[in-house]
A and B are shown apart, each in its own frame.
Chain A
Amino acid sequence: MTEMIYGSMSVPVVRESNSNWWYTIDRVMLSAVFLLFAIGLLLSMASSPALAEKNGLAEFYYTQRQFIFGSLALITMLILSRFSPTMVRRLGVLGFFCALIALLALPVIGTNFGKGATRWISLGFASVQPSEFLKPGFVIMIAWLVAAGKMKNGPPGRLMATLLTGFLVTVLALQPDFGQATLLLSAFFAIMFVAGFNYIWMFCVAVIVMLGAQFAYSNSEHVAGRIDSFLSADIDPYTQIGYAANAISNGGFLGAGVGEGTVKYKLPDAHTDFIMAVAAEEYGVLLCWLVTGVFGFIVFRSFMKLMRTGDHFTRFAGVGLTTLLGAQSMINLGVAARLFPTKGMTLPFISYGGSSLVAIGITFGFLLALTRERSTPTPIIQGITR
Chain B
Amino acid sequence: MTYSTRPSVPLLGIFGDRLRGKKTEDIHAHDRAMIARANAQAEHNSAKNRLRIAMVLSTAVYVAIGLKMAALAMSAPIENINTYTPVKINGDRADIVDRNGEILATNLPGYSLYVQPHEMVDPKAAAQKLSQIFPDMSEEKLYEWFTREGSKFRWLKDQISPEQKQAVFNLGEPGLQFGKRELRLYPNGPIASHILGGVSFGEKGVNAAEIKGQAGIEFASNDFLSNPKNAHRELKLSIDVAVQDALENVLYKGMKANFAKGASAVLMESDTGRIIAMTSLPDFDPNLRPKGVIQGNDPSLDSRFDKAALGTYELGSTFKVFTAAQALENGVANPSTMLKAGRSVQQNGYTIKDFHFYGEQLSLTDIIVKSSNVGTARLARAMGPEVQKKFLGELGFLEPTSLELAEARRGQPLYPQRWTNLSAMTISYGHGLAATPLHLATGYATMVNGGFKVNPTLFQDIPDDLTRSRIISAKTSMQIRDMLRQVVTRGTASFAKTKGYDIGGKTGTAEKLNPNGGYYVNKNINTFASAFPMSDPKYVLVVVLDEPNTPDPKKRTAGWTVVPVAKDIVERVAPLLNIRPVYTPDLPMVAKVMNDG
Binding site for B on A (CB under 8 A): 190, 193-196, 234-238, 242, 245-246, 248-253, 262, 265-266, 280, 284-285, 288-289, 292-293, 295-296, 299-300, 303-304, 306-307, 310, 315, 319, 326, 330, 333-334, 336-339, 379-386
Contact = CB atoms under 8 A, between A and B. Distances in A.
A139 to B, nearest CB: 15
Interface stretch (B58-66, B258-266, B286-294, B458-466): B58-66
B82 A315 contact: no
A191 to B, nearest CB: 11
Which residue among B40, B61, B65, B152 has the maximum number of chain A CB atoms within 10 Å of its CB? B65
B62 A296 contact: yes
19 contacts: A190-B54, A196-B50, A238-B81, A242-B81, A251-B73, A266-B119, A292-B62, A295-B62, A296-B58, A296-B62, A299-B58, A306-B51, A307-B47, A307-B48, A307-B51, A330-B62, A337-B69, A379-B41, A381-B33
Interface string B464-491: 0000000000000000000000000000
Nearest to B1: A196
A310 B256 CA distance: 109
B46 interface: yes
B4 interface: yes
Contact of A303 (B2, B51, B64): B51
A236 B84 CA distance: 8
Contacts of B140: none
**The 10 A-B residue pairs with the shortest CB-CB distance in the complex, in nearest-first order:** A296-B62, A249-B77, A384-B36, A248-B72, A285-B73, A337-B68, A237-B81, A379-B40, A250-B77, A303-B55
A287 B252 CA distance: 71
A381 B43 CA distance: 11
Nearest to B65: A333
B39 interface: yes
B35 interface: yes
A385 B36 contact: yes
A235 B81 CA distance: 10
A244 B18 CA distance: 79
B65 A265 contact: no
Name, among A246, A304, A382, the residue most crowded by chain B CB atoms within 10 Å (CB to CB).
Answer: A246
B19 interface: no
A196 B84 contact: no
Nearest to B55: A303
A289 B51 contact: no
B65 A337 contact: yes
A386 B54 contact: no
B158 to A, nearest CB: 23
Contacts of B121: 265
B591 interface: no
A378 B488 CA distance: 129
Nearest to A193: B50
Contact of B35 (A284, A339, A384): A384
B34 to A, nearest CB: 10
A280 B66 CA distance: 12
B76 interface: yes
B37 interface: yes
Contacts of B48: 307
A285 B44 CA distance: 40
B78 A196 contact: no
B503 to A, nearest CB: 68
A262 B58 contact: no
B521 interface: no
Given A288-B69, A379-B37, A385-B36, A196 B43 contact: yes
Contact of A319 (B54, B59, B62, B77): B54
Nearest to A286: B73
B35 A319 contact: no
Contacts of A334: 61, 65, 68
Interface of B: 1-2, 4, 32-33, 35-37, 39-41, 43-44, 46-48, 50-55, 58-59, 61-66, 68-70, 72-78, 81-84, 119, 121, 152, 174
A215 to B, nearest CB: 26
Nearest to A306: B51
Nearest to B62: A296
A280 B69 CA distance: 9
Nearest to B86: A234
Given A280-B69, A299-B58, A337-B69, A194 B50 contact: yes
Contact of A385 (B2, B47, B77, B83): B2
A286 to B, nearest CB: 9
A334 to B, nearest CB: 5
A141 to B, nearest CB: 20
Contacts of A385: 1-2, 36, 39
A335 B40 CA distance: 41
Nearest to B73: A285
Contact of B72 (A193, A249, A304, A383): A249
A237 B80 CA distance: 9
Nearest to B35: A384
A253 B33 CA distance: 59
A52 B32 CA distance: 67
A249 B76 contact: yes
A315 B50 CA distance: 12
Contact of A386 (B35, B41, B63, B72): B35
A296 B56 CA distance: 11
B36 A383 contact: yes
B66 A330 contact: no
Contacts of A251: 73
A1 B562 CA distance: 143
Nearest to A247: B77
A245 B68 CA distance: 10
Given A196-B47, A246-B81, A252-B73, A381 B40 contact: yes
Given A292-B65, A330-B61, 15 more contacts: A194-B54, A196-B47, A234-B84, A246-B78, A253-B73, A289-B69, A300-B59, A303-B55, A306-B51, A307-B51, A319-B51, A330-B58, A337-B69, A379-B44, A384-B36
Contact of B4 (A190, A380, A386): A386
A338 to B, nearest CB: 7
A331 to B, nearest CB: 10
A190 B50 CA distance: 10
Nearest to A245: B72
A293 B62 CA distance: 7
Contacts of A336: 69
B412 to A, nearest CB: 52
A111 to B, nearest CB: 27
A296 B69 CA distance: 15
Most B CB within 10 A of own CB, among A193, A195, A235, A296: A296
Contacts of B81: 237-238, 242, 246
A292 B73 CA distance: 15
A301 to B, nearest CB: 10
Most buried by A among B4, B59, B81: B81
B47 A300 contact: no
B78 A237 contact: yes
Contacts of B73: 248-249, 251-253, 280, 284-285
Contacts of B58: 296, 299-300, 303, 326, 330
Given A194-B54, A237-B84, A384-B32, A293 B66 contact: yes
Contacts of A190: 54
Contacts of A248: 69, 72-73
A379 B39 CA distance: 10
Contacts of A252: 73-74
Contacts of B41: 379
Contacts of A307: 47-48, 51-52
A352 B40 CA distance: 43
